[in-house]
Amino acid sequence: MSEQEYSIKEAMIYTQRLAQMSKALWKAVEKDWQQWIKPYDLNINEHHILWIAYHLQGATISDIAKFGVMHVSTAFNFSKKLEQRGYLKFFKKDDDRRNTYVLVTDEGEELLKEMTENYFVSHHTILDGSLPIKNIYGKFPEFLEVMSVIRNVYGEDFMEIFERGFDSLGETFNESDGRITTTPPELKLASGEDK
């Protein structure tokens, strides 16, 4: 990363282009995401925390902050709110008293199940916007360039957690005759948690 093999001009145009592109993409994503979760009285960070806690099964607050790309204090405060609403529980492990772990409660699981089953009740503009590529290439785009930039910015463990979350989503999600059902992910926690 030391050899500068680009001009200042191209680097500036490239980064500003990426910035504005990313803003446009995120604003579309944000709108879809908000419309989906609106009936459940959650904001995006709260939903993201539940999602991570559910799919990682025994994440720490700092795992959540890292993977959810939010400040540790944000992750903690919203997790507290979710705990107060009965969707999340905090616990410590006997062999690791320093970290605070979170786990989705039965009630939280019920909520996520319902949200998954109603996923297509709201409109997903980014899905519509991706269908022309799907129709041409036979599969949804993989955004390998974006993923590469994210890997370089956030590091390998971010990607590992990212993939683990989506593996779990795939495993918990069932579809039969166009209806969605979910089965909870296996509890992968080491023993010792204070349930």
Among 72, 99, 110, 129, which residue sits at the site for its own copies (rule: CB under 8 A)? 129
Which residues fall within 8 angstroms of residue 109, CB to CB, at 6 or more apart?
Answer: 54, 184
Among 72, 143, 183, 186, which residue sits at the site for its own copies (rule: CB under 8 A)? 143
In whole angstroms, the minimum distance from the beta carbon of 108 to its own copies comes to: 17
E strand spans, 78-178: 88-93, 96-104, 173-176
Sign of CA dihedral 149, 153, 156, 162: negative
Does the protein bind its own copies through residue 73 (CB under 8 A)? no
Choose one: 80-88, 89-97, 106-114, 146-154; the region binding its own copies (CB under 8 A). Answer: 146-154
3-state secondary structure of 5: coil
Does the protein bind its own copies through residue 175 (CB under 8 A)? yes
Choose one: 11-19, 72-80, 99-107, 185-193; the region binding its own copies (CB under 8 A). Answer: 11-19
Does the protein bind its own copies through residue 183 (CB under 8 A)? no
Among 158, 164, 189, 193, which residue sits at the site for its own copies (rule: CB under 8 A)? 158
Q: How many CA atoms lie within 13 A of 4 on its CB side?
A: 5
Q: In 10 A of CB 46, how many CB atoms? A: 20
Among 132, 156, 191, 195, which residue sits at the site for its own copies (rule: CB under 8 A)? 132
